[in-house]
Amino acid sequence: MASGESVAARWVSRQMVLLLVVLATLPLWIESIGLYPYLGVEIAIWMIYGLGFNLLLGYSGLPSFGHGAFFGIGAYAFGLFQLRVFESLFLGIACAVTAAFVAGAIVACFLSHRRGIYFALMTIAFGQVFWFISIKWHTLTGGEDGLLNIPRPAFELGVASAGLGSNTALFYFVLVVLAVVLVALWRLVHSPFGKVLQAIRQNEVRARFVGYNVWLFKWTVFAISAAIAGLAGSLFSMAQQSAYPDVMSLHASGIIVMMTLIGGGFVSFWGPVIGVAVYFLARDVLGAVTETWLLWFGLIFVLAVLFKPEGIAGAWQQHVGSGDRRSLARRAVAGFLSAGRK
């Protein structure tokens, strides 16, 4: 229990610091290993997306196959705000988060009383509806081409201000957002709310008989998760300087499920973080060797579902838990991974 911990330890964990330090130094070394700085932007954005998504999949046991819709809504909302209203970083992001939250809240009304496969089915249907609208509503979304030339507004906070035109500047901005999301979600999953979500995943009937309004919890977590996806989407539209329907397709929605699961979202807070890093590294490293890297990634996913649904984080935990020779490094990694759940 944390009663003896310092105040700082209740907000931030060692893993968090480690992750943020590694990411913060990324622009210094990424090119020396043959990759490029923009990759860091993508990874950080998808980590935000994945962490929010895992609130549903891992913590609440709600498999959403249509989450790309909310990512896309965030991207479009941010873009439309910059293009149609006025250029503003924080208002644009607020608009994106609100739009995704509202869309998520509406969708959640239809599916919060559903479980398992029917839940997944409904999320697919809604995901497709949003994707379809994004393609067909030309006047608003620009159709299949999407919104182009979305500006990257400058960062302005009181006296401090900085342009986000360069990818490095944008990267550090995204990193700060990631840090905020990490801390907030870390608190959230350990809060009574987070504990109830996990209780609902384990035994929905009992949670109800203990006195929890399961519907309302599912509704709330779905809307929160959608809002975080929208936040990630707004950053993505800044990174790409455009917003397009692809990110809302069933395919794209499935990829975030795959990342989260492969990383170990079912057993660890850090699952999506690991999964996102693995996915993007696989894309760029495998992708450099073969054009069909997604085939191999799909195969890995299938094998993971069959043999290791706990994902990479779970494999590490088991590996270290069962071994006799426990090196310090191994234990450190296992501790790192299991810290997300008790």
Partner 1 sequence: MALFEARGIHKRFGHQVVLERIDLGFESGQLSGIMGPNGAGKTTCFNVLTGQYKPDRGQVVLAGEDITGLAPNTIARKGIARSFQIMSLFDEYSALENLLIALPEVRERGFTMMNRLDSDSAAADRASTVLARVGLAGRERQRAGDLAYGERRALEIGVALAAEPRLLFLDEPTSGLSAKAIAGLAELVQGLKRDYSIVVIEHDMQFLFGLADTISVIHWGQVIASGAPEALRENKWVRRSMLGGKA
Partner 2 sequence: MSHVLPHLLNGLSLGLLFALIALGFMLIVGVMELINLAHGSLFALGAYFAMVIISPDLAWLGAAGEAWAVLPLPVRYGLAVFLAPVLVAIVGMGLELCMRRTYGKKAEYGLLLTFGAALVIEETIRLVWGPSEQYLQVPQAISGAFLFAGLIYSKYKLYAALFAVGAIAAVWLFLERTPYGAIIKAGAHDSEMVRALGINLTRLRLLVFGLGAGLAGFAGIVMTPIWGLRPHVGIDAVIPAFLIIVLGGVGSFWGAVIGGILVGLAVGFTGAYASELSLLSMYLLLIAVVTFRARGLLGRKSGLEA
Residue numbers at the binding site for partner 1 (CB under 8 A)? 1-3, 5, 10, 184, 187-188, 190-196, 198-199, 202-203, 205-214, 217, 220, 342
Contact indicator for 228, 38 with CB cutoff of 8 Å: no
- 3-state SS track over 180-192: HHHHHHHHHHHCH
Site residues (CB under 8 A) for partner 2, limited to 299-318: 299, 301-302, 305-307, 309
User: 188 touches which of partner 1, partner 2, none (CB within 5 to 8 A by kind)?
Assistant: partner 1
Q: Is 298 exposed, middle or buried (0-12, 13-18, 19+ CB in 10 A)?
A: middle
Other CB atoms closer than 10 Å to residue 241's CB: what's the count?
A: 14
- Closest to 47 in 3D by CA, of 26, 61, 77, 29: 26
User: 133 touches which of partner 1, partner 2, none (CB within 5 to 8 A by kind)?
Assistant: partner 2
Single-letter amino acid, residue 293? W
Residue with token string 């310092």: 6
Q: Which helix (H) or strand (E) holds 161?
A: strand 160-162
SS3 148: coil
User: 305 touches which of partner 1, partner 2, none (CB within 5 to 8 A by kind)?
Assistant: partner 2
Measured between alpha carbons, how far is 315 from 334 in angstroms, rounded to an integer? 10
Output the smallest distance, CB 231 to partner 1, in A: 16
Q: Does 207 bind partner 2 (CB under 8 A)?
A: no
Q: Does 298 bind partner 2 (CB under 8 A)?
A: yes
Token pair, residue 282, equals: 């696989």
Q: Does 226 bind partner 2 (CB under 8 A)?
A: no
Angle (nearest 5°) at CA 276 between 93 and 27 = 75
User: 5 touches which of partner 2, partner 1, none (CB within 5 to 8 A by kind)?
Assistant: partner 1
Output the smallest distance, CB 134 to partner 2, in A: 12
Q: Does 55 bind partner 2 (CB under 8 A)?
A: no
- The stretch among 46-54, 114-122, 189-197, 269-277 that binds partner 2 (CB under 8 A) is 114-122
Contacts to partner 2 by CB under 8 A:
61, 63, 65, 110, 113-118, 120-122, 124-126, 128-129, 132-133, 136, 250-251, 254, 257-258, 261, 291-292, 294-295, 298-299, 301-302, 305-307, 309
